[in-house]
Amino acid sequence: NIPEFIALEEHYFMHGAGIGSEPLRVREMELEVDISPVSNAYTIPTDYVGIIDVAAKTSPIRSLDLISKRAANNIYPTRGSGFPNHYFVVGSSLTVLPYTSADIEFTYYQSLPALGDSNASNWLLAKMPNLYLRGALMEAGMHLSQPDLAAPMKSLTDGYISTLNNASDAARFANGSMVPTEFWA
């Protein structure tokens, strides 16, 4: 059952398990790609687990704000075309409004490369092998209905994920200054 435990723990790493179990979101997972529209829709990469930023590659480049599909229907009832301001996501498609022919710069968290027969290692296993060990033991404890094993391993797994996330955030903003994103007159 070990390959099954590893696959389950990788899913846990990517999605967390609700309150107190945050998903893994670190700089090693960040990727930026340019995507072109096809029939006014942009296809989200299949390894996507979370959006960081969406920007229209207009001149000048413009960060877009996420809105719900309902809000999009109310704000852009005819969809129109023009200088883009917003986007919404349905399934694996992203729609920019008003419609534009511009590419988008899609910055996102990509899923962890899964371990398996054709992939014996990944950046996380190399960086923190103890996280993989604790996660596999957590999954084994749950599978075997052994809460005395599962509970402490879950606590350690969640702690390691939180430590990695906090270290990544600290490194990202180290020695940086805050810059306002909007200016008011």
What is the reported pTM?
Answer: 0.85
- If phi > 0 it is left, if psi is from -120 to 50 it is alpha, else beta; for residue 55 that is beta
Q: Are 99 and 80 in contact (CB under 8 A)?
A: yes
- 109/44 Cα distance (integer angstroms): 12
- Per-residue pLDDT tens for 129-154? 999 999 999 999 999 999 899 999 99
Q: What are phi and psi of 62, to 5 degrees?
A: -135, 120
- 90/69 Cα distance (integer angstroms): 8
- Per-residue pLDDT tens for 150-180? 999 999 999 999 999 999 988 877 766 666 6
Amino acid letter, 51: I
